[in-house]
């Protein structure tokens, strides 16, 4: 896309009383002058007729012209408010499509141009779409706050702090004179504060997203440990097919339920293990993906059997995921011991029985607590977008890595970690040349005319 071309699109759905045709780009003024008979003065609405190429009237309407840079896109822009009929929209679109230098805008192109022209950062551009699609009052408020730049201001602050930590260290690393001073302890303290603020922001973001969209909870474990039975026990009905033959759950099952007021989608996956069966191995691949995409993993092990190599393989594949360990079949003789603090393999853990129902209530409590730690109802919904939450989590772990590297006096590694943290903050705002795919993928989901 070049910003030298001029684009147009209908910004409203057809069928209302009025519809708005938008035109943006260097030829916007000339186009309006050509198709509209009214007087054109920037930011003054005027009444006139839009005409076809032969001078015949298409509709009588109002129009306004915004002169660059004082417009939504930062370019010359025109808006024509015509009557809301399909016939008017079709005729006017035809007329504009035939004009020289004019083409139909892509989905989200007006907002994308606003971003590319520096009128708004990425987070604010995303808020435009969130606001357009906001269904609930909470979402509307969060999107508007984000659009007005409250989120951007906070993230810019974090970004600048990471940048200055990086600059201080870079200055020291690049100095040949031996004069530059660097205090690793002070840098670590600053990184620590930055990491903890970032964590709070990400957690609140996770919270508001989960309350809005629900959480995906994947039930993961090797075959026959009792995954399907556990799903049934949580749902209190027979949904998954329970069999004593390993590998019978070949696809994933999804069920929605409310866990202590949190909307949850439970996903029962096929047993994760290497298998020569092609169909089953597709299920296995899907399980791995579910584990990656889930907000929470329930890792099920069979308490009557103990850990087998397949369980250990799963354990290594879920490292770093938010996980609750479930030691199933507590009605049978148990060979698995929980740690003194109630954890298993450092995950919060619970013993359950699908037969007696033992531990199911406790499991629900653990799921809720792990999804929304320290449920703080008053926390504000500053971050609501999954892309932002993920970037914040990435920044936080980069800052933690920087702290460890500084502790080990590995200043080069600390430098790269600070750089990663800074880049993660920058990616939320779309600063410092974000990857083109990222920008494309964000605007692709927009509607036409926005």
At its nearest, how many Å lie between ligand GDP and the CB of residue 358?
Answer: 8
**Binding residue (CB under 6 A) for ligand GDP from 228, 323, 381, 384:** 228
At its nearest, how many Å lie between ligand GDP and the CB of residue 244?
Answer: 4
**Binding residue (CB under 6 A) for ligand GDP from 24, 224, 370, 397:** 224
At its nearest, how many Å lie between ligand GDP and the CB of residue 273?
Answer: 11
**Binding residue (CB under 6 A) for ligand GDP from 77, 194, 195, 225:** 225
Q: Which stretch binds ligand GDP (CB under 6 A): 80-88, 101-109, 119-127, 324-332?
A: 324-332
303 near ligand GDP (CB under 6 A): no
At its nearest, how many Å lie between ligand GDP and the CB of residue 225?
Answer: 5
Residues 356-395 that bind ligand GDP (CB under 6 A): none
Radius of gyration of the chain (CA): 28
284 to 11, 25, 220: CA distances (angstroms) = 45, 51, 10
User: What would the 3-class secondary structure string for the chain be?
Assistant: CCCCCEEEEECCCCCCCEEEEEEECCCHHHHHHHHECCCCCCCCCEEEEEECCCCCEEEEEEEEEECCCCCCCCCCEEEEEEECCHHHHHHHHHHHHHCCCEEECCCCHHHHHHHHCCCCCHHHHHHHHHHHHCCCHHHHHHHHHHHCCHHHHHHHHHHHHHHHHHHHHHHHHHCCCCCCCCCHHHHHHHHHHHHHHHHHHHHHHHHHHHHHHCEEEEEECCCCCCHHHHHHHHHCCCCCCCCCCCCCCCCCEEEEEEECCEEEEEEECCCCCCCCCHHHHHHHHHHHHHHHHCCEEEEEEECCCCCCHHHHHHHHHCCCCCEEEEEECCCCCCCCCCCCCCEECCEEEEECCCCCCCCHHHHHHHHHHHHCCCCCCCCCCCCCCHHHHHHHHHHHHHHHHHHHHHHCCCHHHHHHHHHHHHHHHHHHHCCCCCCHHHHHHHHHCCCCCC
353 near ligand GDP (CB under 6 A): yes
CB closer to ligand GDP, 1 vs 332: 332
CB closer to ligand GDP, 123 vs 231: 231
331 near ligand GDP (CB under 6 A): yes
354 near ligand GDP (CB under 6 A): yes
**Binding residue (CB under 6 A) for ligand GDP from 95, 112, 227, 388:** 227
CB closer to ligand GDP, 205 vs 221: 221
27 near ligand GDP (CB under 6 A): no
At its nearest, how many Å lie between ligand GDP and the CB of residue 84?
Answer: 55
Q: Which stretch binds ligand GDP (CB under 6 A): 61-69, 88-96, 240-248, 404-412?
A: 240-248
Instruction: Judge whether 298 and 231 are in contact, CB under 8 Å.
Output: no
271 near ligand GDP (CB under 6 A): yes
At its nearest, how many Å lie between ligand GDP and the CB of residue 319?
Answer: 21
Q: Which stretch binds ligand GDP (CB under 6 A): 33-41, 250-258, 325-333, 426-434?
A: 325-333
Residues 395-414 that bind ligand GDP (CB under 6 A): none
At its nearest, how many Å lie between ligand GDP and the CB of residue 242?
Answer: 4
355 near ligand GDP (CB under 6 A): yes
- Mask 242-261, x = binds ligand GDP (CB under 6 A)? xxx----x------------
Binding site for ligand GDP (CB under 6 A): 221, 223-229, 242-244, 249, 271, 328-329, 331-332, 353-355
């Amino acid at each position: 896309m070049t910003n030298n071309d001029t684009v147009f699109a209908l910004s409203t759905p057809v069928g209302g009383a009025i519809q708005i045709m938008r035109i943006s780009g260097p030829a916007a003024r000339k186009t309006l002058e050509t198709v509209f008979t009214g007087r054109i003065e920037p930011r003054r609405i005027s009444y006139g007729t839009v005409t076809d190429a032969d001078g015949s009237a298409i509709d009588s309407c109002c129009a306004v012209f915004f002169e660059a840079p004082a417009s939504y896109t930062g370019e010359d822009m025109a808006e024509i408010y015509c009557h809301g009929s399909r016939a008017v929209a079709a005729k006017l679109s035809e007329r504009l499509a035939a004009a020289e230098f004019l083409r139909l805008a892509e989905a989200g192109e007006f907002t994308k141009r606003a971003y590319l022209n520096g009128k708004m950062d990425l987070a604010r551009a995303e808020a435009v779409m969130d606001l357009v699609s906001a269904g609930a009052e909470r979402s509307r408020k969060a999107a508007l706050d984000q659009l007005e730049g409250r989120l951007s201001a906070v993230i810019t602050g974090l970004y600048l702090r990471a940048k200055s930590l990086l600059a201080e260290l870079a200055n020291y690393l690049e100095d040949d004179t031996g004069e530059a001073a660097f205090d690793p302890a002070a840098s670590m303290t600053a990184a620590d504060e930055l990491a903890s603020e970032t964590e709070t922001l990400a957690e609140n973001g996770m919270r508001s997203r989960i309350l809005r969209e629900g959480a995906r909870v994947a039930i993961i474990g090797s075959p026959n440990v009792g995954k399907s039975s556990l799903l049934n026990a949580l749902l209190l009905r027979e949904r998954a097919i329970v069999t004593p033959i390993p590998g019978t759950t070949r696809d994933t099952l999804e069920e929605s339920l409310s866990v202590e007021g949190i909307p949850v989608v439970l996903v029962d996956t096929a047993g994760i293990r290497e298998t020569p069966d092609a169909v089953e191995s597709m299920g296995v691949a899907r399980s791995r993906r579910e584990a990656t995409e889930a907000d929470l993993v329930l890792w099920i092990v069979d308490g009557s059997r103990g850990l087998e190599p397949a369980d250990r393989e799963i354990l290594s594949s879920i490292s770093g995921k938010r996980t609750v360990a479930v030691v199933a079949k507590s009605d049978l003789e148990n060979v698995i011991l929980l740690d003194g603090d109630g954890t298993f393999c450092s995950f919060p853990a619970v013993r359950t029985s699908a037969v007696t129902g033992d531990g199911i209530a406790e499991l629900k409590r653990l799921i809720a607590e792990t999804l929304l730690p320290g449920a703080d109802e008053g926390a504000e919904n500053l971050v609501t977008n999954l892309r932002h939450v993920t970037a914040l989590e990435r920044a936080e772990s980069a800052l933690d890595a920087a702290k460890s590297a500084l502790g080990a006096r590995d200043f080069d590694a600390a430098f790269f970690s600070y750089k990663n943290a800074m880049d993660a903050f920058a990616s939320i705002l779309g600063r410092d040349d974000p990857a083109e795919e990222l920008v494309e993928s964000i605007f692709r989901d927009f509607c036409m005319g926005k």
